[in-house]
């Protein structure tokens, strides 16, 4: 009943016109990265409200919601898991972390990854360093979204002034063929640079000539005009 109530609450906040816009924005047409994804047109702030309302739902029921074909249902499930993780004890955090990874096939668009990966996967691996090998495994995955999870998860490390994992995963993904990985790596390098630009520049000096252009542009977005021009020259 709880899952049905969540779906009904989201339906009340849905908007058909917005759903059409979102389907285009998240590339749901045949052959695109979000092919077949279904939207009902609920904003992220409204989805957060519902997630907070139902944060006490069980993890099993949250996974049931995560398996929905509707994008906003899956997002709501992930936002619930984030809240549960933040409020949970060590054992609960461990279960949520493993549940997240076990069900990664349902975390299948960039917003779903970006709003959850660093807050669950990244935060847990910070607590359990032996799990750092998981980032390497995800970075080498054939699945686009698992690769994006690997780099976005390192945002948690960046916030703690720990940069090795971001640099390591970025290096693994340098030759990735997908634009969404280029953007994610560039984003994380940019965030790293906000904390310590010299470390980012050391990485760029070594790799900027082989980096995909989108990745490079994202990574140097906050640099001065002079430095941006320098790095964009190959």
Instruction: Identify the CA nearest to 44 among candidates 85, 13, 21, 3.
Output: 13
Contact 84, 96 (CB under 8 A): yes
Q: What is the pLDDT of residues 87-142, one digit of tens each?
A: 999 999 999 999 999 999 999 999 999 999 999 999 999 999 899 999 999 999 99
Backbone angles phi, psi at 70, to 5 degrees: -90, 125
Query: In whole angstroms, what is the distance from residue 190 CA to residue 4 CA?
Result: 41
Q: Helix, strand, coil: what percent of the chain each, to 5?
A: 70, 0, 30
pLDDT of 1 reads: 81
Query: In whole angstroms, what is the distance from residue 39 CA to residue 76 CA?
Result: 13
Contact 141, 152 (CB under 8 A): no
Write the DSSP symbol of residue 177: -
Give the number of C-alpha atoms closer than 13 A to the C-alpha of residue 117, restricted to the C-beta side. 27
β partners of residue 70 = 38
Q: Which domains does the chain have, with CATH numbers?
A: 1-115 (1.25.10.90), 136-234 (1.25.40)
CB-neighbour burial class of residue 59 (10 A; exposed 0-12, middle 13-18, buried 19+)? middle
Q: What is the pLDDT of residues 13-71, one digit of tens each?
A: 999 999 999 999 999 999 999 999 999 999 999 999 999 999 999 999 999 999 999 99
pLDDT of 234 reads: 67
* pTM score of the predicted model: 0.95
């Amino acid at each position: 009943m709880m899952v049905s109530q969540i779906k009904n609450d989201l339906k009340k906040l849905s908007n058909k016109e917005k759903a059409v816009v979102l389907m285009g924005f998240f590339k749901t047409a045949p052959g695109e990265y979000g092919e077949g994804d279904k939207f009902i047109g609920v904003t992220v702030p409204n989805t957060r409200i519902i997630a907070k309302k139902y944060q006490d739902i069980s993890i099993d029921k949250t996974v049931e919601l995560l398996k929905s074909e509707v994008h906003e249902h899956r997002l709501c499930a992930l936002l619930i898991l984030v809240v549960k993780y933040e409020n949970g004890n060590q054992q609960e955090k461990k279960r949520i972390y493993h549940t997240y990874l076990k069900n990664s096939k349902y975390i299948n668009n960039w917003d779903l990854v970006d709003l959850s990966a660093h807050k669950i996967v990244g935060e847990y691996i910070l607590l359990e360093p032996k799990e750092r090998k998981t980032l390497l495994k995800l970075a080498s995955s054939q699945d686009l979204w698992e690769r994006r999870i690997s780099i976005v998860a390192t945002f948690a490390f960046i916030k703690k002034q720990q940069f090795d994992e971001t640099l390591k995963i970025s290096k693994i993904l340098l030759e990735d063929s997908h634009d969404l990985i280029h953007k994610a790596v560039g984003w994380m390098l940019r965030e790293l640079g906000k904390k310590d630009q010299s470390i980012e520049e050391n990485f760029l000096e070594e790799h900027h000539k082989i980096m995909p252009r989108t990745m490079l542009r994202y990574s140097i977005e906050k640099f001065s005009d002079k430095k941006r021009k320098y790095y964009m020259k190959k």
